[in-house]
Structure formats: C-alpha cells, structure tokens
Amino acid sequence: MPSVPAACKGNELLTDEGCAANGYDNFDKIRFWKTPVSQCEQGECVPYYRWVSDYIAVIGGR
C-alpha cells in the first residue's frame, strides 16, 4: 500500500481500487511502533528491557 494518498489513483500495479482493497480506508486505525520508554506522556511507563522480558514471558507461556 502506498504511503501517500496521491499514489492510490492511477497506480498501474494497484489500480484505482487497490488501496481500498488493502485497507487504506482504515488508515486512521493504524498505530505505528514506538519503542517503550521509562518516562512518557502518561507519567511512568515500562522501559524497553522490561517490555521485552514481559513479552518473551507471554510468548513462552509464563
């Protein structure tokens, strides 16, 4: 899917319906990755090393 809306029209590969077929209409629901930090807008957050260890524990079923 293109990163700019202008590329959704006249795109030979996608055709004019390609962006809609690939979810471009839901673009406002996409959340891009941000590395976890210990201090954030909400106050105290989880630092990256803690996030990684907790994620591994979840994946491992612990």
- Euclidean distance between CA atoms 19 and 38, whole angstroms: 37
- Euclidean distance between CA atoms 1 and 30, whole angstroms: 13
Structure tokens at 17: 């319906």
Query: pTM for the full model?
Result: 0.39
Q: What is the dihedral of CA 26, 31, 4, 27, to 10 degrees?
A: 10
Mean pLDDT across 1-13: 78
User: Model confidence over 16-25: pLDDT tens digits?
Assistant: 788 888 888 8
Confidence of residue 62 (pLDDT cuts 50, 70, 90): low
Q: Are 8 and 24 in contact (CB under 8 A)?
A: yes
Same domain, 37 and 60: yes
Confidence of residue 1 (pLDDT cuts 50, 70, 90): low
Confidence of residue 53 (pLDDT cuts 50, 70, 90): very high
Dmax (CA) of the chain: 50
Same domain, 13 and 36: no
Number of independent structural domains in the chain: 2
Same domain, 18 and 36: no
